Structure 1
Amino acid sequence: MWISVILQAEAQKAEALSEALMDAGALSISIEDADAGTDAEKPQFGEPGHHPVGLWDHSRVIALFDAQADLAVALARAAADAGFDAVPPFTLEEVAEQNWVQLTQSQFDPIRITERMWIVPSWHTAPDPDAINIELDPGMAFGTGSHPTTRLCLEWLCDAVRPGDLVLDYGCGSGILGIAAARLGAGDVLGVDIDDKALEAARDNAERNGTTVRLQHSREPVDARFDVVVANILTNPLCVLAPLLAARIAPGGRIALSGVLETQTQQVIDAYAPFLRLHVGAVHEGWARLEGLRPADTPQ
């Protein structure tokens, strides 16, 4: 049994209080938006190249303590160390012992992408044994099929990939898109990422699914041209990568970009305009997929 202490704190003091609580014996700390679920909720999303957003004006600091801890002493000490005149308002909740692995697994069910493709966690039986079933568990790298941008890309791949195609998955994360392309019959798949941990996860996931996906770090040059290029990243990196990604599309080849909010589509379309024409192919839960085609008569 543990005790969860939920304290209210202004943004400028939330981090100091968190550190003081750890020094006072807390087992773990998290900071949340105290206005979550209300009209005052403030998302913390950001992108590379943007200044990080500060903590919420009204923050909630959650500290987990052993049930035998002297909370009065710990909270008084932490409040004083963090510069509070008194212990801020707080509530207590009991946290019972649970099978945390089982609880986590229960939150991830098989995901139907199309009639022919499912994403199936390893602890589940595939709902349709005759479909393309990609075994993938939540992990350190982005991409389980549950996020709208991943789903948008997977749906597109199901229509775009033809047998023998050369496929580039730029920003491969967990490797889910490259694995899907390989299972759809691609002749060769290259996954590229900036994160070594993502490349390691993608390699493990590809092996688990019996597929071959070549993987490399983004610092290494990509010189080949591909029939299919897919990139599920974020708006700003996609704009910066426009010359590189556009140059990797073979004549007659197709490209799909996601990780783009519906309100950001024109920004990406404009960034790629000098190289090829993009259009919005689909939108899901506020996220967009942009698609483009390089004419077959484009010079090599």
Structure 2
Amino acid sequence: MKWTEISVQTSNEAVEAVSNILETAGSKGVKIEDAEDFKKLRAGKFGEILDLADIPHVESGAAVTGYYPDSVDVEKLIPKIKQQVEGLTKFNLNPAPAKVLRKPLEETEWQTAWKKYYHPVRITRYLTVVPDWETYQKTADEEKVLKLDPGMAFGTGTHPTTRLCLQALEMYIRGGEELIDVGTGSGVLSIAASKMGVANIKAFDLDQVAVDSALENLKLNPDVKNIEIKPNNLLEGIQAQADIIVANILAEIIEPLVPQAKACLKPGGIFITSGIIKEKLPLILADLKKADFEIEEILQMKDWRAVVAKKSTELTSTKN
């Protein structure tokens, strides 16, 4: 089978959104080259030694690449992708230069070309994300190792929004909690939460492809047995009560999620949400406060923000 590689030249802040556009358009995997991430790629105890000069990379901004089988009409697809990428300005994201390029690929190139970009990465104090084909030895007893297949897209834990969520989870998980993961994508947050000690996890995503991706990544971590992954639109129709809800989604989707999260959280429960570009932070904070959430803290990385909020315990106090 022949494939077509469609690459979008964009900015660091638009990487997550552009990745979603390519995946929604039918990409069978997404490769991300980010100039900021590449600057951090060095020899170290958590990955192999690399000769940076030998690795192709972007000098500035970012390039997001999707892969499409020959059954896809790329001639019609490319203008649609370009229109959607340029339309990200409506969400206060700068996608420039928003250039869309194409390149034919053979099956063998598609299967292996992107693997050299992925290596074990320490994401938080205790969590290391490892590509499923890599052999990795823990450096400390308390280290948690999470296996993922980066070729399935939906995030590998390295994007700032995912890192912020993982850091917040590590800070707030005490062990034995009930957790809901909204917009699970690759399942990285759910799998990490399980390894951190959460008792039971429900993970939801509107996209069946994302659900399948999360299920496959779950198989790569056979020690994790407590995650239920299903398709669902945010928390519509969900009656469960959780100690923690985590959502790594864009601010525009967080807005309708806030009242749903309040209904599904136990009194005093924690709502962790990321995917918030800094310009949107005041809007999200206002929505949370309107729903009587108490803002515990705000985490930041590059232009992205994550908010940790606590559901008020006032109603419980009134009953007592």
After TM superposition, the score normalised by the length of structure 1 is 0.68
Cα drift, residue 102 of structure 1:
4.4
Q: 1:216 aligns with which of 230, 239, 245?
A: 230
The answer to whether the 8 A contact 1:203-1:213 is kept is: no
Cα-to-partner distance string for 1:246-300 (whole Å, 9 max, x where unaligned)? 2211112111100000111011111222211336521001100011112344339
Residue 277 of structure 1 aligns to a residue in which SS?
strand
Query: What residue is the counterpart of 2:76 in the other structure?
Result: none
1:136 aligns with 2:155: no
Cα drift, residue 34 of structure 1:
10
Cα-to-partner distance string for 1:92-114 (whole Å, 9 max, x where unaligned)? xxxx9986644411101111022
1:289 aligns with 2:306: yes
Equivalences for residues 74-223 of structure 1 within 5 A = 101-128=111-138, 131-210=143-222, 211-219=225-233, 221-223=237-239
1:240 aligns with 2:256: yes
Cα drift, residue 186 of structure 1:
0.8
Residue 120 of structure 1 aligns to a residue in which SS?
strand
Question: Which of the two has higher C-alpha Rg?
Answer: 1
After TM superposition, the score normalised by the length of structure 2 is 0.64
Root mean square deviation, CA, Å: 3.7
Query: What residue is the counterpart of 2:80 in the other structure?
Result: none
1:153 partner letter: C
Change (3 A) 1:132 1:58: closer
2:146 partner letter: I
The answer to whether the 8 A contact 1:47-1:236 is kept is: no
Equivalences for residues 233-272 of structure 1 within 5 A = 233-272=249-288
Cα drift, residue 229 of structure 1:
0.8
Residue 145 of structure 1 aligns to a residue in which SS?
coil
Residue 298 of structure 1 aligns to a residue in which SS?
helix
Larger fraction in helix: 2
For structure 2, the 5+ residue unaligned runs are 13-19, 22-84
The answer to whether the 8 A contact 2:296-2:310 is kept is: no
Matches of 1:58 and 1:262, distance apart in 2: 21
Matches of 2:160 and 2:240, distance apart in 1: 29
Alignment length, in residue pairs?
A: 237
For structure 1, the 5+ residue unaligned runs are 1-25, 37-43, 67-95
1:245 partner letter: A
Residue 273 of structure 1 aligns to a residue in which SS?
helix
Q: Equivalent pairs: percent with the same residue? A: 28
